[in-house]
Structure 1
Amino acid sequence: MTGSGSRERAVQPEDLSRFVVDRLNAADVDGLVALYEPDAVLALPDGRVATGSQEIRQAYEQLVLDRPVFTPGEQQPTLRNGDLALTSVRLPGGGATVEVARRQPDGTWLWVMDQPRVLG
């Protein structure tokens, strides 16, 4: 897929977790970046933070370089407050993710903050 217009968009905040696994396994970096607001933040394994689309793109380019296989985890109940949602997934083998998504003007959801591994 070349343009974000041809990709499925998150109509529920929980959709983002499913999409990220699908796009990681497809090494679809453009599709991964499309899951985030332009000024979103993504926590990196080394303790740094990728801020904004360009840094998030660079992080995912490195992550999918060797084409690792990602397994979906167990979606946890979403906590919503208006246009914000706190999502979390229990990861296979331990640990969890925590994300904050925001409803966009068109009703779809994008991540604002992403901590892909806590408690792990």
Structure 2
Amino acid sequence: MTERETAKSPEDLLRLFIERGNAGDVEGLLALYEPDAVVAVPPGRETTGHEALRAVYTQLLAKKPKFDAGTVLPVLRSGDYALTTARTDDGGARAEVAHRQPDGTWLWIIDRPFFG
């Protein structure tokens, strides 16, 4: 198994997603989510869990999209949860809920990557 950098803060998650997405690393993207995470992909639908996300991200990354951060907004935290948000360059937005793990790292549990 490949050793990957872990998110030590909620702010790390988007940076790691962009790096791994642009590298075509499906397994690296999955490593940023809890096993039962819910992601609103494709738009208008919900995909739950690593197996279903693997299929969606494999198909998406095959198209070699270019990921960028857009305008990242300050993280809102409440205990072991955090809301990460950004405005996208096309006028949309994205929002994710991150959850602190028992080892102190962070993973996304809910992700809505496109809305607005």
Q: Which of 15, 23, 27 lines up with 1:30 in the alignment? A: 27
Map residues 1-120 of structure 1 onto 2, 5 A cutoff: 3=2, 6-119=3-116
Change in CA separation of 1:118 and 1:64 when aligned onto 2, cut-off 3 Å: same
> What 5-or-longer segments of structure 2 have no aligned partner?
none
Separation in 1 of the partners of 2:98 and 2:67?
21
Separation in 1 of the partners of 2:86 and 2:55?
23
Separation in 1 of the partners of 2:9 and 2:43?
30
Report the TM-score when normalising by structure 2.
0.95
- Structure 1: 4+ residue segments shifted above 3 A: none
Change in CA separation of 1:46 and 1:118 when aligned onto 2, cut-off 3 Å: closer
Amino acid at match of 2:110: M
What RMSD, in angstroms, separates the aligned Cα atoms of the two structures? 1.1
**Percent of pairs identical after alignment?**
53
Cα displacement string for residues 68-88 of structure 1 (whole angstroms, at most 9, x for unaligned residues): 212221211111110000110
> What 5-or-longer segments of structure 1 have no aligned partner?
none
Alignment: residue pair count: 116
